[in-house]
Chain A
């Protein structure tokens, strides 16, 4: 092969051909005029350590996906229902318990009001779901309440919505995980002391699943959702049959009566309001579908709206059904002799204590709750990416990893949620008061945004749509106030966090805007070729191959080249000069004697002197500091070299009219 062309003989005399080498083809592909697309091989690490790390990452997360493969990662309705709705559906596992925990303060008789409270919350769910269906249809780009409020109210209000959502997503992960662990410990009480470790380990597993990318996350988690739905509906059907047809009903067990007797309180409107506020946690996650509309297969909006309707129907039936069974079987939470969740007691009563269906149901419930945590792993990174795109969050959050997942957002969520679980000792009930406040603030802002949307756009049937969103807005605003009041003082933490996050995001935006203004180039300016003089200064430590290579390079970029040798030894300097003039004639060597043994500072001072001696009537030249750099073969050898060069670099960065050029000398080159 000569010059990438290999001559070949043909079968017949005179038939010749030349095979032309295509060196670009290993790494790139021409994809348009003047446009090259990098192949996967171009993104592979080049160092041994990098390759080893990539191998581990690929084994754990799968092969990297190209951006063009994204459409294949879109979710079907069935998978999307599992991924986006598990948060909302799973709240049926603890929402009933939250109602009963409040009602028991009014004595055993007050528990009977549980069903009415659940029905009221289900009505609220219907209103919110109908309102959010309209968001899906009106805003196919996703972002949910952030997009809606940004469009209709501007930046500040949208950031309040975004902050509330971010808090909500983090809380979803923490609450769902701790609740899942509680389902496990309700079935196997011996694991209660390991609840924090189990919770954090579960978050780590979900994180890996999500870093693998959307479609595979759907495959991993879709089955448990449907298993839970099947077993929960079966439980409700059997239980309801036994209550309605068999006349089975419950008297409260002595433990419950004893628990209730300790803290008697009147069944007042306030108590019912507090129970309503506590149970409103069932609505968390309703907005996730509206945020994730772009993740659906086309037609995105329609599929998202259909999935949202299905989710609301399933959640409503489950929530009312489980509350109906709990109230009629006389069940509430138990702390002694061992902690028992309400849903686990209902399952025990229906399926039989210690039976296989009971353990299966507990397993499915726990899996669903873990999957609910997964909902936030889809929505939180997307919202962060949208915020990063708007310069309200660091831009890293908008970058996609090897598997097209927003890796930084996923990892950030996992870290914060794990810290919460550790801080609250894995107790769901302690975390719940922080939950739901942000959600209802968010619902309200979103609905208010939709009111403005309909008033501005006025499409066909806008009056009916406006009425729906106005009703939803009013209702959710009232509930936001009620929840904040009922959960005070814990809700105060959220009320402080939201403005703090808003300020943080505004600060980040200001920083990015400042940088953009600084770097802005007017479109009408035409830049001619370089017209400034250039000079090169090469700091040298003797005459060696690295120095010679750097000086040779310096001579290619500037006419005015000088070497600077900083030394403390005058005799050594003289010997150096003699050798320099002999071996590198034509390149002046400036010897800077440094009796105080410093190297970097005298060199910088020399650059300052050079600048000051430049004629003031001429434009200052660009000074190129050419640094000879020896590159050791192994990374652990590198610590032995170039330390002075690194200090020089640190001292020169940011100096006016000065650029640094590293000239690496590699062994074996």
Chain B
């Protein structure tokens, strides 16, 4: 059966990393959510090292961290969509994303992946995306950023 309609979802969790890919995935999900009146939740997770208590007052006071979610709100608004912004502190970003998506019964989890290379030239995928792909109960989309010019 051919699929001619854009994929629909009821509730999507968008993982924000604070990079240029955030705008792309928020816009993409907002546009896709619009026709079906889907709900969009943007989540930014601040990783807290073991030297600090998990509930240390870090993310709440940081203008830089708050502005990641605020910028996502602005992008969604420009697409005439409302977005719920969630700020989390966790020891492990992947686990926090999966837990948040599960708790909110999301049927889509979207992450952006910057094009990076490890020392030695191999494409680096990091550890968050493999964890989410392995553990998230819902559909997972990974949107890889374009390869920078000169590296393609």
Chain A residues proximal to chain B, CB less than 8 Å:
2-5, 7-8, 10-12, 15-22, 24-25, 29-31, 33-34
Q: Is A10 a contact of B99 with CB atoms below 8 Å?
A: yes
Chain A contacts of B57 at CB under 8 A? 3, 5
Q: Is A19 a contact of B87 with CB atoms below 8 Å?
A: yes
Q: Is B59 a contact of A20 with CB atoms below 8 Å?
A: yes
Sample 9 A-B pairs with CB under 8 A, ordered by A number.
A3-B55, A5-B89, A7-B54, A8-B99, A10-B99, A12-B95, A15-B92, A18-B55, A31-B67
Instruction: Given the known inter-chain contacts A2-B55, A15-B99, please indicate yes or no for A30 contacting B60, CB distance below 8 A.
Output: no
Per a CB cutoff under 8 Å, which of A3, A15, A30 touches B67? A30
Min CB distance B86 to A, Å, is 7
Interface segment, B3-11, B17-25, B69-77, B119-127?
A: B69-77
Most interface-central of A2, A4, A18, A19 (chain B CB within 10 A) = A18
A20 to B45, CA, bound (A): 10
B110 within 8 Å of A by Cβ? no
Q: Is B54 a contact of A22 with CB atoms below 8 Å?
A: no
What number of A-B contacts does a CB cutoff of 8 Å give?
Answer: 75
A10 to B102, CA, bound (A): 9
Q: Is A17 a contact of B87 with CB atoms below 8 Å?
A: no
Q: Is A5 a contact of B63 with CB atoms below 8 Å?
A: no
Q: Is A22 a contact of B87 with CB atoms below 8 Å?
A: yes
Least CB separation from A22: chain B residue: B87
Chain A contacts of B66 at CB under 8 A? 22, 24-25, 30
Q: Is B74 a contact of A29 with CB atoms below 8 Å?
A: yes
Least CB separation from A18: chain B residue: B89
Q: Closest 6 interchain pairs by CB?
A: A30-B67, A17-B90, A10-B99, A29-B70, A18-B89, A17-B96
Chain B contacts of A17 at CB under 8 A? 45, 54, 88-90, 95-96, 99-100
Chain B residues proximal to chain A, CB less than 8 Å:
45-46, 54-55, 57, 59-60, 63, 66-67, 69-70, 73-74, 85-92, 95-96, 98-100, 102-103
Min CB distance B79 to A, Å, is 14
Q: Is B59 a contact of A10 with CB atoms below 8 Å?
A: no
Chain A contacts of B102 at CB under 8 A? 11
Chain A contacts of B99 at CB under 8 A? 8, 10-11, 15, 17
Q: Is A19 a contact of B95 with CB atoms below 8 Å?
A: no
Chain B contacts of A3 at CB under 8 A? 55, 57
Min CB distance A607 to B, Å, is 43
Instruction: Given the known inter-chain contacts A15-B95, A17-B45, please indicate yes or no for A4 contacting B60, CB distance below 8 A.
Output: yes
A20 to B74, CA, bound (A): 20
Chain A contacts of B63 at CB under 8 A? 30, 33-34
Q: Is B85 a contact of A22 with CB atoms below 8 Å?
A: yes
Chain B contacts of A10 at CB under 8 A? 95-96, 98-99
Min CB distance A632 to B, Å, is 36
Chain B contacts of A11 at CB under 8 A? 98-99, 102
Chain B contacts of A8 at CB under 8 A? 99, 103
Per a CB cutoff under 8 Å, which of A2, A16, A29 touches B91? A16
A12 to B96, CA, bound (A): 11
Least CB separation from B84: chain A residue: A25
Min CB distance B78 to A, Å, is 9
A29 to B77, CA, bound (A): 12
Most interface-central of A2, A25, A34 (chain B CB within 10 A) = A25
Per a CB cutoff under 8 Å, which of B55, B70, B91, B98 touches A5? B55
Q: Is B69 a contact of A18 with CB atoms below 8 Å?
A: no
A19 to B66, CA, bound (A): 13
Min CB distance B34 to A, Å, is 18
Query: A10-B99, A11-B98 given. 13 additional CB < 8 A pairs?
Result: A3-B57, A5-B57, A8-B99, A11-B99, A11-B102, A15-B90, A20-B46, A20-B88, A24-B66, A25-B66, A25-B85, A29-B73, A30-B66
Q: Is B60 a contact of A21 with CB atoms below 8 Å?
A: yes
Q: Is B88 a contact of A25 with CB atoms below 8 Å?
A: no
Least CB separation from A33: chain B residue: B63
A12 to B69, CA, bound (A): 27
A11 to B92, CA, bound (A): 13
Chain A contacts of B88 at CB under 8 A? 17-20
Least CB separation from B92: chain A residue: A15
Chain A contacts of B70 at CB under 8 A? 25, 29-31
Chain B contacts of A5 at CB under 8 A? 55, 57, 60, 89
A25 to B91, CA, bound (A): 25
Min CB distance B137 to A, Å, is 9
Chain B contacts of A25 at CB under 8 A? 66, 69-70, 73, 85
Chain B contacts of A4 at CB under 8 A? 60
Chain B contacts of A18 at CB under 8 A? 54-55, 88-90
A17 to B45, CA, bound (A): 9
Chain B contacts of A33 at CB under 8 A? 63
A33 to B86, CA, bound (A): 21
A107 to B100, CA, bound (A): 91
Min CB distance B60 to A, Å, is 5
Chain B contacts of A20 at CB under 8 A? 46, 59-60, 87-89
Min CB distance B120 to A, Å, is 32
Min CB distance A113 to B, Å, is 61
Chain A contacts of B86 at CB under 8 A? 19
A29 to B99, CA, bound (A): 27
Least CB separation from A16: chain B residue: B54
Chain B contacts of A15 at CB under 8 A? 90, 92, 95-96, 99
A2 to B57, CA, bound (A): 11
Least CB separation from A23: chain B residue: B60
Least CB separation from B89: chain A residue: A18
Chain A contacts of B89 at CB under 8 A? 5, 17-18, 20
Least CB separation from B70: chain A residue: A29
Q: Is B87 a contact of A7 with CB atoms below 8 Å?
A: no
A24 to B63, CA, bound (A): 11
